Chain A
């Protein structure tokens, strides 16, 4: 079974402080990992996917297969980063479901 764990329900940081949103997963095969963001009253949007190793809005995430983690990081938090962040896992293959973690609410304090 595939599972995604986000241990923090709420993370409050001051503007300009570093951010790390934790995500651990369990899956026996090679997963595809994603971070989705949900701003207030908006739809879920893809933020990052591990296979493209990109940086979006200053966020990065590295897949650590040894620790089965995919933590989301940003060196300097901005107020507009305040949102719900969901880590998600998908088995390879187009029709496979995406399994979400419980989400972490990031609150950036001005």
Chain B
């Protein structure tokens, strides 16, 4: 069964550094998403992406965040200058039209 895959599974970075979280969505899906989950809190929407542009973004997704689909298979989330409060589990998801399928997540720890 096809799956959304995310790399790395765990990333530790120093405050102020840039990080890129990578995702390979399911191949025939057209809609892509990033969510995050701070430890002990709910899953929060960050951004949706369709037809090579952002469809919707949340208040969390400020100028420090960007997304890209650099080639036909990858979907990346970049955090330009990480803050301590960016520490969370980041989930990528993709969708054909109905439900979203999620990756296993990348745990980002900012120290």
* A86 contacts across to B, CB distance below 8 A: 42-43
Contact B42 A97, beta carbon cutoff 8 Å: no
Contact A94 B50, beta carbon cutoff 8 Å: yes
- Is there a chain A Cβ closer than 8 Å to B97's Cβ? yes
Q: Considering the chains assembled together, what is the distance between the CA atoms of A100 and B100 in angstroms?
A: 12
Q: What does the 1/0 interface line of A21-61 toward B look like (CB < 8 Å)?
A: 00000000000101010000011111001010000000000
Q: What does the 1/0 interface line of A74-110 toward B look like (CB < 8 Å)?
A: 0000000000001000100011111111110000000
Q: Considering the chains assembled together, what is the distance between the CA atoms of A103 and B41 in angstroms?
A: 9
- Is there a chain A Cβ closer than 8 Å to B76's Cβ? no
* Range class of the B interface residue count: 20 to 34
Contact B104 A43, beta carbon cutoff 8 Å: yes
Contact A103 B42, beta carbon cutoff 8 Å: yes
Contact A94 B42, beta carbon cutoff 8 Å: no
Q: What does the 1/0 interface line of B70-111 toward A look like (CB < 8 Å)?
A: 000000000000000000000101011111111111000000
* A49 contacts across to B, CB distance below 8 A: 98-99
Contact A97 B102, beta carbon cutoff 8 Å: no
Contact A44 B33, beta carbon cutoff 8 Å: no
Q: Considering the chains assembled together, what is the distance between the CA atoms of A45 and B104 in angstroms?
A: 10
Task: Return A77 CB to nearest CB of chain B, in Å.
Answer: 23
Contact A45 B102, beta carbon cutoff 8 Å: yes
**CB-CB nearest in chain A for B50:** A95
- Is there a chain A Cβ closer than 8 Å to B68's Cβ? no
Which A residues contact B (CB, under 8 angstroms)?
32, 34, 36, 42-46, 49, 51, 86, 90, 94-103
| Other contacts beyond A43-B103, A94-B30, A101-B42: 18, CB < 8 A | A43-B102, A43-B105, A46-B99, A46-B100, A46-B101, A49-B99, A90-B99, A90-B100, A94-B95, A94-B96, A95-B50, A95-B55, A96-B48, A96-B56, A99-B45, A100-B43, A100-B44, A103-B42
